[in-house]
Amino acid sequence: MNVQPSQTVKGKDRYKSGVMEYRKMGYWEPDYEPKDTDVIACFRVTPQDGVDPIEASAAVAGESSTATWTVVWTDRLTATEKYRAKCYRVDPVPGTEGQYFAYIAYDLDLFEPGSISNLTASIIGNVFGFKPLKALRLEDMRLPLAYVKTFQGPATGIVVERERLDKFGRPLLGATVKPKLGLSGRNYGRVVYEALKGGLDFTKDDENINSQPFMHWRERFLYCMEAVAKAEAATGEIKGTYLNVTAATMEDMYERAEFAKELGSCIVMIDLVIGYTAIQSMAKWARRNDMILHLHRAGHSTYTRQKAHGVSFRVIAKWMRLAGVDHIHAGTVVGKLEGDPATTRGYYDICREDFNPMRLEHGVFFDQPWASLNKLMPVASGGIHAGQMHQLLDLLGEDVVLQFGGGTIGHPAGIAAGATANRVALEAMIFARNAGRDYVNEGPTILAEAARSCTPLRQALDVWGDVTFNYASTDQLDFVPTPSVAG
Residues in contact with Mg ion by the rule CB under 5 A: 206-207
100 touches, from ligand RUB, Mg ion, none (C-beta below 5 to 8 Å by class): none
Least distance (Å) from Mg ion to the CB of residue 94?
36
Establish whether 294 is a catalytic residue.
no
CA 19 from centroid of its chain's CA atoms: 40
Separation between Cα atoms, residue 314 and residue 116, nearest integer Å: 15
Cβ-contact 371, 354 below 8 angstroms: no
Cβ-contact 27, 86 below 8 angstroms: yes
Q: Do the bridges between strand 267-271 and strand 240-244 make them parallel or antiparallel, or are there none, so unpaired?
A: parallel
Distances (CA, A) of 25 to 39, 69, 74, 383: 20, 11, 14, 51
When asked if residue 348 is in the footprint of ligand RUB (CB under 6 A), the reply is: no
Separation between Cα atoms, residue 313 and residue 300, nearest integer Å: 8
360 touches, from Mg ion, ligand RUB, none (C-beta below 5 to 8 Å by class): none
Separation between Cα atoms, residue 66 and residue 122, nearest integer Å: 9
In the chain, count H helices and then E strands. 18, 15
Residue type, 310: G
Give the Cα-Cα-Cα angle 350, 379, 313 (nearest 5 degrees).
Answer: 45
Instruction: Closer to Mg ion by CB, 89 or 204: give it.
Output: 204
Least distance (Å) from Mg ion to the CB of residue 112?
33
Establish whether 178 is a catalytic residue.
yes
> Residue 299 CB: number of other CB atoms within 10 A?
13
Contact pattern for ligand RUB over residues 29 through 68, marking x by CB under 6 A: ----------------------------------------
- Tell whether residue 207 is among the known ligand binding residues: yes
Least distance (Å) from Mg ion to the CB of residue 296?
7
When asked if residue 142 is in the footprint of ligand RUB (CB under 6 A), the reply is: no
Separation between Cα atoms, residue 64 and residue 103, nearest integer Å: 13
Among 146, 222, 273, 337, binds ligand RUB (CB under 6 A): 337
Cβ-contact 145, 75 below 8 angstroms: no
Interface segment toward ligand RUB; rule CB under 6 A; list 273-281, 368-376, 401-409, 422-430? 401-409
- Tell whether residue 176 is among the known ligand binding residues: yes
Based on the number of CB atoms within 10 Å of its own CB, is 249 exposed (0-12), middle (13-18) or buried (19 or more)? exposed
Least distance (Å) from ligand RUB to the CB of residue 138?
19
Which of 294, 296, 300, 411 is an active site residue?
296
Among 57, 176, 265, 343, binds ligand RUB (CB under 6 A): 176
Instruction: Closer to ligand RUB by CB, 67 or 311: give it.
Output: 311
When asked if residue 381 is in the footprint of ligand RUB (CB under 6 A), the reply is: yes
Separation between Cα atoms, residue 314 and residue 350, nearest integer Å: 7
75: number of CA atoms within 13 Å, CB side? Answer: 21
- Which residues sit opposite 269 in a β-bridge? 244, 294
Least distance (Å) from Mg ion to the CB of residue 291?
21
Instruction: Closer to ligand RUB by CB, 281 or 332: give it.
Output: 332
346 touches, from ligand RUB, Mg ion, none (C-beta below 5 to 8 Å by class): none
When asked if residue 411 is in the footprint of ligand RUB (CB under 6 A), the reply is: no
Instruction: Closer to Mg ion by CB, 174 or 487: give it.
Output: 174
When asked if residue 340 is in the footprint of ligand RUB (CB under 6 A), the reply is: no
Q: Which of residues 248-307 bind ligand RUB (CB under 6 A)?
A: 297
Instruction: Closer to Mg ion by CB, 38 or 207: give it.
Output: 207
User: What is the arrangement of strands in the sheet containing 377-381, beginning at the earlier edge strand?
Assistant: 172-174, 401-403, 377-381, 327-329, 292-296, 267-271, 240-244, 202-204
Separation between Cα atoms, residue 432 and residue 418, nearest integer Å: 21
- Tell whether residue 126 is among the known ligand binding residues: yes
Count residues near ligand RUB (CB under 6 A): 17
- Tell whether residue 33 is among the known ligand binding residues: no
When asked if residue 185 is in the footprint of ligand RUB (CB under 6 A), the reply is: no
In the bound state, the residue with its beta carbon closest to Mg ion is 206
Phi, psi (deg, nearest 5) at residue 220? -60, -45
- Give the chain's radius of gyration (CA, Å): 25
Which of 178, 261, 309, 336 is an active site residue?
178
Instruction: Closer to Mg ion by CB, 206 or 340: give it.
Output: 206
Orientation angle between helical segments 250-262 and 276-288, nearest 10 degrees: 30
Interface segment toward ligand RUB; rule CB under 6 A; list 9-17, 58-66, 214-222, 378-386? 378-386
- In the complex, the residues that contact ligand RUB under the rule CB under 6 A are 176, 178, 206-207, 297, 329, 331, 336-337, 381-383, 403-407
Report the catalytic residues. 178, 296
Q: Which residues are annotated as a binding site for Mg(2+)?
A: 204, 206-207
